[in-house]
Amino acid sequence: MRSKVACGILAAVVCVSIANTAGAQVASGDTSSLKIALSNNYAGNSWRQAMLKSWSNVADAAVKQKVVAAAPTFTTAENQATEQVQQMQNLILQGFKGIAVDAVSPTALNGVIKQACGAGVTVVSFDGIASEPCAYRITVDFRKLGSMQVDYMAKRLNGTGNLLEIRGLAGVSVDDEIHQGIVDELKKYPGLKIVGSVHGDWTQTVAQKQVAGILPTLPKIDGVVDQGGDGFGTAKAFAEANRPTPIIILGNRQEELAWWVEQRKKGNYETLSVTIPPGCSTFAFWITQQLLAGKKLPHDIQMPLLEVKADELDSVLAKTPPGQLANKEYTRDEVLKVVDSK
């Protein structure tokens, strides 16, 4: 059932119709001849690998269904801004009409993004957000991800305790936002203190090494606030140092959830597991496709976090293969329900 028809020129789309599907306003302009790319700056952990796989799962199916002409992924080798800038310049020259980008930093790509917009390319940043005004930005409330950890620790520790902070990849907006959420929320709880901080790069092995290096200098640790991809490595560092296991916030990785199950069997261990789902790339894919199809959207769009609660742990773990994460891959209608509800 059509509720609205708008005609004009948008890339290869001449007439755009808006269909009402299960409450979601779907732009049905023809994007079958248009190419969308994913520009990714880093693939060195399980979250990023799952993010790329989720994109392929959804985008490859959309190509087969002739929703778009192509939707490949491109990842830089060195996580360098100059490399991602060159990558995006190549995508512009190759005729991609939409680029979803997980940006190396909030500002480093702004010049090439502005160049892309000037060439008629729709740019959608997600996870690692770009601040260039012409780009669309898909965010989760990363500050909330930080603040909810502090609130959880305050409840569990009765407002008093020593915390270790595991940060992510230095210079990336996600790391800055989660950290700021932690810092701001700690102002409510003067009895909670950050007594140590390291960068774990969202990677278990890096986190384990960095935590092992700092532990000998630290007092008793009651809780660990972090960013995902670091919980299991942190737990191993504490175990190998023969230190008591603190409350460690987890990030939905299979090995973390399996570790939580084992700890719970040993002594009723409870914690919180939450992160942005790797399937955020599929959210970005459908936003990009819908913009090309004529959907009018704000430049700032928020998507939900994915939390694994204690009573869901066993069922979620059973569905999460080793090396993977608890995840959510979005359909087009699910994406539009989120954005239209805002």
Question: Residues 161-203: pLDDT tens digits?
Answer: 999 999 998 988 889 999 999 999 999 999 999 999 999 999 9
The two three-digit tokens of residue 275, written as one number: 């992160």
- Biggest CA pair distance of the chain: 68
pLDDT of 22 above 90: no
SS3 content of the chain, % helix, strand, coil (to 5): 40, 25, 35
Q: Same domain, yes or no, for 152 and 199?
A: yes
Q: Same domain, yes or no, for 213 and 101?
A: no
Q: Give per-residue pLDDT as tens, 61-75.
A: 999 999 999 999 999
Q: Same domain, yes or no, for 302 and 332?
A: yes
Domain boundary among 275, 304, 322: 275
Domain boundary among 275, 310, 327: 275
The C-alpha atoms of residue 71 and residue 36 are separated, in whole angstroms, by 5
Q: Are 117 and 123 in contact (CB under 8 A)?
A: yes
Q: Same domain, yes or no, for 9 and 135?
A: yes
Q: Given this model, what pLDDT does residue 23 score?
A: 55
pLDDT of 146 above 80: yes
Task: Give how far Cα 80 sits from Cα of 103, 171, 290, 318, Å.
Answer: 10, 11, 30, 37
Q: Same domain, yes or no, for 132 and 147?
A: no
Residues 6+ apart with CB under 8 A from 316: 257, 308, 326
Q: Same domain, yes or no, for 57 and 159?
A: no
Q: Same domain, yes or no, for 151 and 132?
A: no
pLDDT of 12 above 70: no
Considering the chain, what is the average pLDDT of its residues?
Answer: 91
The C-alpha atoms of residue 147 and residue 194 are separated, in whole angstroms, by 14
Q: Are 42 and 75 in contact (CB under 8 A)?
A: yes
Q: Considering only CA atoms, give the Rg of the chain.
A: 21
The number of CA neighbours under 13 Å toward the Cβ of 301 is: 27
Q: Give per-residue pLDDT as tens, 272-310.
A: 999 999 999 999 999 999 999 999 999 999 999 999 999
Q: Same domain, yes or no, for 59 and 155?
A: no
Domain residues for the domain of 194 are 142-275
- The pLDDT confidence band at residue 19, using thresholds 50, 70 and 90, is very low
The enclosing domain of 200 has a CATH number of 3.40.50.2300
130 CA to centre of own chain: 14
Q: Are 208 and 259 in contact (CB under 8 A)?
A: no
- The pLDDT confidence band at residue 342, using thresholds 50, 70 and 90, is confident
Q: Same domain, yes or no, for 193 and 203?
A: yes
For the chain, the domain total comes to: 2
pLDDT of 24 above 50: yes
- What residue type is assigned to position 129 of the chain? I
